[in-house]
Chain A
Amino acid sequence: TMSDPEILNKKNKKLDFWIWGIASIIFRIILIYFPKNLNLSSRPEVSTPLTNLRRLAEGYWLKQSSISPYAGSMYHGSPLLLSMLGPLTVKKIEGQPNNLLCSLIFVNADFVAALLIRATGHYLQTAYDRSLELLGISTPLGRSEALPSGEIAALVYLWNPLTIVTCLGSSTAPIENLVVILTLCGACAGLAPLAAFGWVMATHFSLYPVILIIPVVLLLGFGPDAPPRKLFIQKKFGKVGMDLSSDKSLKHKEVTTLRVSPMHFSWVNIFHFLFWACLWSIYVLLLCGISLKDYGGLSEMFRRTYGFILCVEDLSPNIGVLWYFFAEVFEFFRGFFLIVFHVNILFMILPLAIRLNHRPCFLAFVYVAISSMLKSYPSVGDAALYLGLLGLFVNELAGKLDILTNAGDMHFSFFLFCGYVGVFLLSPVMHNLWIWRGTGNANFYFATAITYACFQIILVVESVSAMLNHDRFLRKLSTTTTTTAGIS
């Protein structure tokens, strides 16, 4: 039972969240009404050849004039997005900005994504609290002091300038982010059909989320993030060896441990997930096939979407490093480096999955961050996604729990913040100098891209390291509590 002021406090917090969330929507709508959407849609940082709405409009126009939407290397997205957003791109309302309807859809997508993040945060929080309780770890500061990570993450996502810029920049990235978040939320809630839908759609839209199958399977199998499973085993055996005549509450706890224990892998959920994933993918392919049946069919779709992503055909500048690399590298090395760069993403999947298998949601964040760093056409929309997800682990990473030792505190967070701000301020300047004024050259812009890549690397490495440190800290706490319990 909570005291009245505490409940009030909670209510206030909830109210705060809604106020801030709606404020962010209003802010977006105000910005939409700025002339020409502040020209954000033409920024290379915001819209990539994959997500550009203008290319989508061209694809839709081509399809309307009974040419394949993929004819002419313009559109590289999904045919479903084309039939969903295409009609909206041509609809012009008198006196309203162009693409108003699309922009409103993106605003909605952002808001729904934020709500999903919030829900995910709640699932994670409850799971985390429960596992701490199971381990018998009492946090030094008490539960109520822990930050409501879901709400923080949702607000970070909504108010992140990168998200706002992506939403206004007429790029389809908000929808892609939405389905990725939907996957995670569905998996956290244990809803296999939802997770499967999100995963299939995310993979269909942008290919890279295909690696999220590992965290999703882990989430569905083991449940949301928890401390290492070894601790539970130790705890169990410790208890068994310690005392047989423990009080009833402890026994009751034991039973619950067995039921919701992260050690227990639920194969049923996995089969459910796989079944639904098959069903959804067949459904999506069927829809795509129907929409493309007059022009080249599915093989053309795969060649123009996945092929375009994997072969890095477009060398127009973006905030990644691959465009300049492939514009400069000798032609006969091209194939080799294409393999090297893509394998670089795949290489890290297994080690990360082994090391972080007890924290599937965090694992998903790391995967998203890595793929947004190494993908062929990155944009700030990807950064918005992983920064939003990062908010979910604010308690663990900020060392809130282990405030006394500060072991889990993420290093360089201020440095990283300054770095991100610097990169996103400098990048348009360098682009302007190179493309518009002609006083700079490509190296200027590439330098910001390299810096950005380095900052992302530091972010990923430091967050993984902080999370592992946090686990160590938990282990320490748990062993001390078991030993103290044993002594007592």
Chain B
Amino acid sequence: MLLPRQTRLVLFLLSNLFFIPITFSLVEEQEQFTEELLLKPLPDRKVLSHFHFQSRAPPTASYGHHHRLFPKAIYQLVHKYRIREMELSFTQGRWNYERWGGFDPISSNNAKPPGVELWAVFDVPEHQVDAYWKNLTHTLSGLFCASINFLESSTTYAAPEWGFQPFTGSLRYGTLPREAVCTENLTPWLKLLPCRDKAGLSALLDRPSIYKGFYHSQQLHLISAEFKSGELDSGIILEQTLTVVLQPGAKRTGLAYFQPSWSMSSIFGRQITGKCVLAKSSNVFLQIDRDAVSELKDMWKEMSVNSDKMSKSLWSNPYFELSRAPDRIKEASSINSDSASILYEFFIQKCSKSESFDLGLTWKSSFVWSCPKAPLHATRFLMGSGNERGSIAISLRTTELNRRLMDADISEETCKLRVDIFQMVPWYVKVYYHTLLVFVDEKPQALTDVIERMHVSPSEDKVSPGLMELALKLPCGLNSAALTVEFSKGFLHIDEYPPDANQGFDIPSAVISFPRFNTRLHFPKDDSERSPVLSYTEVLLVPLTTPDFSMPYNVITITCTVFALYFGSLLNVLRRRVGEEERILKEKAANKKTGWISILLSKLFAKLRGRPSESPKSPASSSSLVSLKLLLKVVLVASVAVGWQIEFLELCGFERIDGEKFLDLPIEKVDMAALVSAGSEL
């Protein structure tokens, strides 16, 4: 991938300095497990802790099916559903891109939309992908005690073409924004670790303290090369991460505007008592943005001159102090050296049960700094009122990073900022894609100027969600850009509303990515693996109109009454023959003599109808006709009844004996018990 020089921007040059990747090639044929914990103070007095557990299984071809460390459930999952890559995240809370940063790998890879997000790439023919996805959702649902099986319905997942990940055809993406996340999801996740939460870094995971945080995201990322043919087989890599943003307790160090000092025991309520013995490595990192302590810059320069990498002034200086001496200190550099950071590394191998590991950070003076942000800050909101229509707006505002970059590249005329937008909307939000408008610096733009590429797959009622993938090329010097698209709200069947229908329905987060900006993964071994800067927008809540849920019977009866009214009255009008009636009346008046049989029949007829006989002098002709008709009808009904009865009796087990006119029930078919009981009853 050839990237323009100015955007080939790498924040962290960490991975190639670790021991693990160096040793990796030697132990490739071994299962291995590593655990890492990154702690990072955030500008708004909070602490980010990011747990990262990696299990690696060698390829089945060379290693076989039995594993010592690698979780069997995941291995079977990969093989049964032929998964090439999969990511499942459970998130609660919203990542604050403004304060906690949007450019570093943690925010790009671990800031996830609220609820459950699942995407998977399958290594199966395209027509089977949906079936595999459905089965996968059910399996994951059982594995993680979550309602992931709701993603089975074709209205909840989509097949992005290029806007989300560069896999075509075999990728499926679905989210459940309203899924609540709790310990019941964490426990099965921990069970996949070889030491569970009994030893090692995971022992820190005290449920009350991690769930009281501001943001909580638990992830499972799977990469498998099992089914790739003709490529270097690297087995299955399972990465489990848990990202928590916590507020350190009120352990104040004098002034209120100081950053709060904290230690592991104060934020988690626990300490590390030793590494997980099955883990290949077990490290704790502390990352401090160098922005935070500008003084450190000079120190770092000094140090690089002196090549004294373990200078004490780096971890115990007039600004802050660490409670333990780090085992290693590194600087993560980037092209614009302003936003680098310093990484302190601690090896857990050394500590033992008697001497538990507890890292603390004490601030000695106050600092204000900010985390690196994505080039554009994205927010999404709804416009309009009422329950009939509205529009979705995505607003992109420039951040300092972009401004700084732009200042650097102002010389280049054709500078374009590429932004990819991936948005999935449920079918009941009926988007009019032809109303898409793009504004740059609050001026409307012609779509062809701004949109480089567009893929729309419109929603289909009760079948599939709408999908919009946009590649925008915006001018570099922009201040803001906005996209609006109008929609009208659908009306659902009474059964399709959730129990709390008036709460509204969620539109899943849109994904905004900046493909030209790369952020390097924090922990991987492979140096070349980069991922674009990615951010999620807010989940939108759309209120939909509700019918009256208590009304079905009323509506059915009222509507049917109206139809009956229509049918009956129209037929009555058509049937009425005033002239005939007059004629009959006249005839009645004319011939008064009537036969006695007809009188009798008419009386009988009247009695049958339950009405008094109208008049004894009804005309003979019509009366006899009526009675004849009546007789015919009675005979017809009776014959039908008799016929049916005989058929019924035959069905009941009676048999018609050939040549005879009687029905016979064979003795073996008689239920003697029933007869005896009937007799006793009598």
Contact = CB atoms under 8 A, between A and B. Distances in A.
Q: Do A and B come from one complex?
A: yes
Interface in B570-594: 570-571, 573-574, 576, 578-579
Contact of A74 (B430, B493, B556): B430
A83 interface: no
A457 B570 CA distance: 8
B480 interface: no
Contacts of B460: 71-73
**Chain A interface bracket (under 10, 10 to 19, 20 to 34, 35 or more):** 35 or more
Contacts of B493: 315, 326-327, 331
B133 to A, nearest CB: 21
A327 B494 contact: yes
Interface string B5-41: 0000000000000000000000000000000000000
A72 B491 contact: no
A57 interface: yes
B552 A329 contact: yes
Contacts of B569: 457, 461
Nearest to B386: A436
A420 interface: no
Given A58-B432, A74-B458, A327-B492, A457 B565 contact: yes
Given A57-B434, A457-B565, A329 B570 contact: no
A355 interface: yes
Residue with the highest number of chain B CB atoms closer than 10 Å, among A328, A341, A344, A373: A328
B341 interface: no
B495 interface: yes
B579 A475 contact: yes
B504 interface: no
A197 B368 CA distance: 79
Interface stretch (B81-89, B370-378, B542-550): B542-550
Contact of A327 (B387, B461, B491, B567): B491
Given A71-B457, A74-B430, A344 B566 contact: yes
A317 B551 contact: no
A457 B566 contact: yes
A230 to B, nearest CB: 10
Contacts of A330: 552
A141 interface: no
Interface stretch (A120-128, A270-278, A389-397, A442-450): A442-450
A344 B433 CA distance: 38
Nearest to B389: A42
B308 to A, nearest CB: 63
A328 B555 contact: yes
Contact of A61 (B434, B461, B574): B434
B573 A461 contact: yes
Contacts of B456: 62, 65, 67
A454 B562 contact: yes
Interface in B417-461: 427, 430, 432-434, 454, 456-461
A442 B493 CA distance: 13
B596 interface: no
Interface in B522-554: 545-548, 551-552
A327 B459 CA distance: 20
Interface in B53-90: none
B559 A325 contact: yes
B457 A464 contact: no
A412 interface: no
Residue among A72, A313, A325, A454 with the highest chain B CB neighbour number at 10 A: A72
Contacts of B548: 328, 441-443
B552 A453 contact: no
A438 interface: yes
Contacts of A74: 430, 432, 458
Interface in A132-169: none
Say what secondary structure dominates the interface of chain A.
Answer: helix
Contacts of B515: none
A323 B491 contact: yes
Interface string B632-654: 00000000000000000000000
Contact of A446 (B454, B490, B555): B555
Contacts of A469: 578
A324 B547 contact: yes
Interface stretch (A19-27, A180-188, A235-243, A345-353): A345-353
Given A72-B459, A329-B552, A460 B570 contact: yes
B433 to A, nearest CB: 6
Contact of B570 (A58, A326, A340, A464): A464
A256 interface: no
Interface string A439-478: 0011100100010011001001100110011001001000
Contacts of B427: 73
A325 B454 CA distance: 39
B143 interface: no
B558 interface: yes
Contacts of B545: 434-435, 442
A62 B432 CA distance: 10
Given A330-B552, A475-B579, A435 B388 contact: yes
B105 interface: no
A480 interface: no
Nearest to A348: B570
A72 B570 contact: no
A319 interface: no
A314 interface: yes
B9 to A, nearest CB: 34
Contacts of B457: 67, 71-72
Contacts of B490: 315-316
Interface string A368-394: 000001100000000000000000000
A436 B387 CA distance: 6
A28 interface: no
B527 to A, nearest CB: 41
A61 B388 CA distance: 22
A61 B573 contact: no
In this complex, which of B387, B459, B555, B565 has the most chain A Cβ atoms within 10 angstroms of its Cβ?
A: B555
Contact of B559 (A355, A450, A465, A472): A450
Contacts of A326: 493
A64 B562 CA distance: 44
Nearest to A52: B488
B430 A347 contact: no
Nearest to B494: A328
Contacts of B573: 461, 464-465, 468
Contacts of B559: 321, 324-325, 450
B183 to A, nearest CB: 37
Contacts of A73: 427, 430, 459-461
A54 interface: yes
A355 B460 CA distance: 45
Nearest to A436: B386
B491 A67 contact: no
Contacts of B563: 340-341, 344, 374
A297 B462 CA distance: 22
B174 interface: no
Given A72-B460, A328-B555, A443-B548, A351 B388 contact: no
A13 B96 CA distance: 76
Contacts of B462: 313
B229 interface: no
Interface centre among A61, A313, A326, A344, by most chain B C-beta atoms within 10 angstroms, is A61
21 contacts: A57-B434, A58-B434, A61-B433, A71-B458, A72-B430, A72-B460, A72-B466, A314-B491, A324-B547, A324-B555, A328-B494, A329-B552, A348-B571, A436-B386, A441-B548, A450-B562, A457-B570, A461-B566, A465-B573, A465-B576, A472-B578
Interface of B: 385-389, 427, 430, 432-434, 454, 456-462, 466, 490-495, 545-548, 551-552, 555-556, 558-559, 562-563, 565-567, 569-571, 573-574, 576, 578-579
Given A348-B571, A355-B574, A472-B578, 16 more contacts: A57-B432, A67-B456, A313-B461, A313-B462, A314-B491, A315-B493, A328-B494, A328-B552, A329-B552, A435-B386, A436-B388, A454-B565, A457-B569, A461-B566, A461-B573, A475-B579
